[in-house]
Chain A
Amino acid sequence: MTKRFASLFGAIAVLAALAPAPVAAQPESVLRVAMTAGDIPLTAGIPDQGFEGWRFVGYSLYDALVSWDLSRSDVAADIKPGLATGWHVDPANSRRWIFELRHGVKFHDGSPFTAADVVWNFDRFTKESAPQFNARQFAFARGYLGSFESIEAVDEFTIAITTKQPDSLLPYNMSFLMLVSPRRSAEVGNDADAFARNPSGTGPYRFSRMVPGERLELVKNTEYWDTARIPHHDRLVLLPMPEASTRTAALLSGQVDWIEAPAPDAIPRLRSSRMQIVTNAYPHNWAYQLNFVDGPFRDVRVRRAANYALNRPDFKELLGGVALEAYANLPPSTPYYGHPVRYEFDPARARALLTEAGCLPCKITLAISTSGSGQMQPLPMNELVKSQLEAAGFEVTLDVMDWNALLQVGRDGREKHQNVDGLNISRSLQDPFNGMMRFVWTQQFAPRGSNWGHYRSEEMDALINRALATFEPAPRLALLTQIHEKMSEEAVMLWVVHDLNPRAMSPRVRGFVQAQSWFQDLTPITMAPR
């Protein structure tokens, strides 16, 4: 049999060599990814399924005005020009941002990208009376349009966005808003579901096919405007696999080439099978937001005591090494990290602070969840927090609830939950507003925003207002650094770890650079032959 195959092969080889114009039929190179999501992220613009949806579907099919530079692994990712080539604030009006749009960009359906399309997309996000208005897109976009007031097309390739107050961070928010093709939307009668089945954006991948609930297949967009980012593989297959053990088995059995978030205890097994394990810091923290009004955390000494009470390397060990000790709010590679107070493990100091504050034993209640996006391993981690806090003089009650219930507590704010002293919701810290300001700004008091425990400091408010009104990068960076250092000095949270975002991939996956970001660039990846 083998012989026959060999001779057949030989014959084919000879024939191929003799053929006049040998066009080698390259097999299609396919990258298959198992996501943690329970379903395929929405393909009709801004995706659902959290930032995983943005990572694999959003930034593949679409672009935003502003992109993320995901080409390096050694610095925290920052924004760069996307569908807008540049932006600046109107010299005559600090509430008016001007965005210059890229020329020559085409949607996947062939229609050209212009300023009118941007305005059309913003109406889709915000204007209930517009025929293209979409409730879900509104819901996803809203968090990024907090300061947005209005938009206008200045000319064919310029738009102007007016904000409610000066907002130097607006470009960051623009990076989350995916722009879809108005032509395709009109073709399907502005039906979002029909659009999702045949989407059209400007991104590096085009839609190929979708089996709802099972798989989404994208193919490379050979006409992508950023020629450096035309995918180096032909096809990207995305599979939802919420079970960690299922993902691990799928990778080990060769069904997929890449899995997100393997369970920490599966990592040694994956390594022994020659799988690549990649990790990197990214803007995530596993921490507790505190109640600044009702309980003992009103007192900064108690907040500091809690931070001194934790031995963070123990958490890293508990998580199989795929975590980074969090001594402050942001990972140290963040440009505005500065020199925050380092809360090293010091139980004696913690106890002394509690004694000084007159709170010993210091009774606190922490609201935690059993699971949830970004929550890592909430139960064992919280047990460890409890035991270490108690060793230093706290008396901790863990109020365990379902993830959705915890989110509701988070949304309600402290007023409705005065018995809760700390809230364990992992947060994304992708940009200065989401990473810092929203937790400590009085304008963000819950239920309006994310300042759950109603932290109030005039000095902090002044810093934030100045940062938002400072449009020059260097002075703004200095202000942002001050905000971070002040958050640390004031111990505005109880910080534990930053996730290291492990992912595992087959040895065939080449050329991936793990950026310090929630988002990743898949386009440079090549697939080595089997």
Chain B
Amino acid sequence: MFSYILRRLLAAIPIALGVSMVCFALVYLAPGDPIQTLLPPDADAETVDRLKRLYGLDRPLPIQYLSWLARVAVGDFGRSIATGRPVAEEIRRSLGNTVLLASVSVLIAFSIAFVMGTIAGRRAGSWIDRIVTGIAVLGVSLPNYWLGIVLVIIFAVELMALPASGMAGERFDPTSWEHLQFLVLPVFTLSMIPVGIIARTTRSAVSEVMNQEFIVTLRANGLPEWRVLRHALKNALPPVLAVMGLQFGTLMGGSILVETVFAWPGSGYLLSKAILTRDIPVLQGTILVLALIFVATNLIVDLFQSTLDPRIRRG
């Protein structure tokens, strides 16, 4: 087990390297560079060149990449070109906000979707299954930025019941409604897609297991229905967990669109700003951290899966 974890962790290194390299190259493939966004549109070419030199952006790309890598290896993510603030600090702050948003969304989405999917899977083909499937399809197919705007119009603008955007302040206080109310709309919006995906996965996994022969055997043995369901769920859980892990990873990446609609200062918002301003240090740092989180989430899910189902123990 230990060597498995170690190997998986080591495997994360080339993934992170690959991600950062591709991201670095993509930024340079796109037109414009950070200097462009630092300068007023009217700045002349000579100023651009001089500033590039001052920021070290006139060096060959591989050298720039390697020097960035060397600094990251010792934990120095550098400073944002756009704001001059340390990248590590920017990431820490925005990631904290995203963790808050994502974990609440995940908790809500997972519990609702799991219950919905289980009910539907047990009664596949029934009217309740159709309703759940309908909700799931709706959740997956509604563009969430659109949903966010509609929710804002209804609850913030018309009813004035909830704030339209932003966060209450620097320190989030989970005991105060003043702070919690800012979470309601983004959490609802953000959890729609995972609700849909997980409900559908759960439904198909449960209905598949329910059709297996051991269920018939369990029932023939006279087990009460709730115990049959327990066995069924245990068997249906691994694929659902895998999807949950992926969804959590995606939410942690921060939904760029949802965070932008609600002006939620999380990692997605940070990333979108960094893309628009070609702020390479912020972009590189954020993507690297997010990639590592994604890898770690998957690892945890894998470990969970293998404890639940020894058949998939790898290594």
Q: How far is the CB of A97 from chain B (nearest CB, A)?
A: 23
Assembly CA distance A507 to B299 (angstroms): 55
In the complex, chain B residues whose CB is within 8 Å of the CB of A412: 45
> Binary interface profile of B, 163-175, with partner A (CB < 8 Å = 1, else 0)?
1111101100000
Q: With A136-B84, A192-B84, A404-B31 as known contacts, state yes or no: A254 contacts B160, CB within 8 Å.
A: yes
A411 at the interface (CB under 8 A from B): yes
B163 touches A448 (CB 8 A): no
Query: What CA separation (Å) do A162 and B288 show in the bound complex?
Result: 50
Bound Cα distance A140, B273 (Å): 20
Q: List A residues 397-414 near B (Cβ within 8 Å).
A: 401-405, 407-408, 410-412
Question: B48: nearest residue on chain A (CB-CB)?
Answer: A411
Q: Which of B145-179 contact A (CB under 8 A)?
A: 149, 152-153, 156-157, 160, 163-167, 169-170
Q: Which residues of A contact B84 (CB under 8 A)?
A: 42, 44, 136, 192-193, 196
Which of A213-251 touch B at CB < 8 Å? 213-214, 239-243, 245-246, 249-250
A524 at the interface (CB under 8 A from B): no
Contact A38 B45, beta carbon cutoff 8 Å = no
Which residues of B lie under 8 Å from residue A450 when comparing CB positions? 42, 44
Given the interface pairs A39-B83, A253-B156, A408-B36, the reply to whether A246 lies near B30 with Cβ below 8 Å is: no
If A196-B84, A243-B260, A252-B156 touch, whether A214 touches B40 (CB-CB below 8 Å) is no
- Interchain CB contact under 8 A, B163 and A407: no
Assembly CA distance A347 to B50 (angstroms): 47
Q: For residue A323, give the distance in angstroms from its CB to the closest CB of chain B.
A: 20
Q: Tell me, rounded to whole Å, the shortest Cβ–Cβ distance linking A491 to chain B.
A: 22
Give the complex CA separation of A151 and B302 in angstroms.
67
Interface residues of B in 4-49 (CB under 8 A from A): 30-33, 35-48
- Could you tell me the distance in whole angstroms from the C-beta of A425 to the nearest C-beta in chain B? 7
B261, CB-defined interface residue at 8 Å: yes
Whether, in the assembled complex, A434 has its beta carbon less than 8 Å from a beta carbon of chain B, the answer is yes
CB atoms of B42 and A434 under 8 A apart: yes
- Answer whether A214 and B265 are a contact pair too, CB < 8 Å, given A38-B273, A249-B156, A405-B31: yes
List of B residues within 8 angstroms of A136 by Cβ: 38, 84
Q: Are B85 and A243 closer than 8 Å at their CB atoms?
A: no
Q: Is the CB of B157 within 8 A of A249?
A: yes
Chain A residue with the shortest CB-CB distance to B35: A139
Return chain A residues, CB-CB under 8 Å to B31: 401-402, 404-405, 408
Q: Mark A445-488, 1 if CB is under 8 A from B, else 0.
A: 01111100000000000000000000000000000000000000
Nearest-CB residue, chain A, relative to B264: A214
A139 contacts across to B, CB distance below 8 A: 35, 38-39, 43, 47, 51
- C-alpha spacing A243/B30, complex, angstroms: 23
The answer to whether A211 and B169 touch (CB under 8 A), given A250-B164, A253-B156, A255-B164, is yes
CA distance A373 to B277 in the complex (A): 13
Number of A-B contacts (CB under 8 A): 147
Which chain A positions have C-beta within 8 A of B166?
214, 239, 250, 255
Cα–Cα distance between A52 and B250 once the two chains are bound (Å) = 34
A135 touches B (CB below 8 Å): yes
Q: Judging by beta carbons under 8 Å apart, are A449 and B44 in contact?
A: yes
Q: How far is the CB of A229 from chain B (nearest CB, A)?
A: 26
Verify B260–A213 contact, CB threshold 8 A: no
B93 within 8 A of A: yes
Q: Which residues of A are found within 8 Å of B36, using beta-carbon distances?
A: 404, 407-408
A212 at the interface (CB under 8 A from B): yes
Residues of B within 8 A of A38 (CB): 273, 276-277
Give, as a whole number of angstroms, the nearest-CB distance from A412 to chain B. 7
CB distance from A487 to the nearest CB of B (A): 17
Residue numbers in B under 8 Å from A512 (CB-CB)? none
* Given contacts A404-B278, A411-B48, A255 and B165 within 8 Å (CB-CB): yes
Task: Assess whether A337 is interfacial by the CB under 8 Å rule.
Answer: no
Task: Flag whether A164 is at the interface (Cβ < 8 A).
Answer: no
Question: Chain B nearest CB: distance from A394 CB in Å?
Answer: 27
Q: Does B82 contact A (CB under 8 A)?
A: yes
B244 at the A interface (CB under 8 A): no
Any chain B CB within 8 A of the CB of A120?
no
Using a CB-CB cutoff of 8 Å, which residues 181-210 of chain B contact chain A? none
Residues of B contacting A243 in the complex (Cβ-Cβ under 8 angstroms): 260-261, 263
Residues of chain A with a CB closer than 8 A to B149's CB: 245, 249
CA distance A41 to B268 in the complex (A): 20
| Cα(A464)–Cα(B45), bound, Å | 23
Question: Would you call B1 an interface residue if the criterion is a C-beta within 8 Å of the partner chain's C-beta atoms?
Answer: no
Encoded as 1 (CB less than 8 Å from any A CB) or 0, chain B from 90 to 112 comes to 10011000000000000000000
Q: Name the residue of chain B whose CB is nearest to the CB of A405.
A: B31
For the complex, what is the distance from the CA of A402 to the CA of B51, rounded to whole Å? 22
Q: Max chain A CB contacts within 10 Å: which of B35, B42, B86, B170? A: B42
Is the CB of A48 closer than 8 A to any CB of chain B? yes
Residue among A196, A255, A448 having the largest count of chain B Cβ atoms under 10 Å: A255
Q: Cβ of B231 < 8 Å from any Cβ of A? A: no
For B151, the closest partner residue in chain A by CB is: A249
Please report which residues of chain A, range 42-77, place their CB below 8 angstroms from some CB of chain B when the two chains form the complex: 42, 44, 48, 50
Whether B165 lies near A241 (C-beta < 8 A) is yes
- Please, how many angstroms separate the alpha-carbon atoms of A450 and B46 in the complex? 12
Q: Report how far A491 CA is from B37 CA in the complex, Å.
A: 31
**Closest residue of chain A to B257, judged by CB?**
A243
Task: Tell me the complex Cα distance, A449–B42, Å.
Answer: 8
Residues of B within 8 A of A (CB): 30-33, 35-48, 50-51, 54-55, 79, 82-86, 90, 93-94, 149, 152-153, 156-157, 160, 163-167, 169-170, 260-263, 265, 269-270, 273, 276-278
Top 9 A-B pairs ranked by shortest CB distance?
Answer: A404-B32, A405-B31, A447-B45, A249-B164, A253-B156, A135-B54, A252-B157, A193-B84, A253-B164
Besides A255-B164, A408-B31, 16 other CB < 8 A contacts? A38-B276, A42-B83, A48-B38, A136-B84, A138-B51, A138-B54, A193-B86, A214-B265, A249-B156, A249-B165, A253-B163, A255-B166, A401-B31, A404-B31, A404-B278, A412-B45
A-B contact pairs, 8 of them (CB 8 A): A42-B83, A138-B54, A143-B44, A213-B94, A252-B157, A425-B41, A428-B42, A438-B42
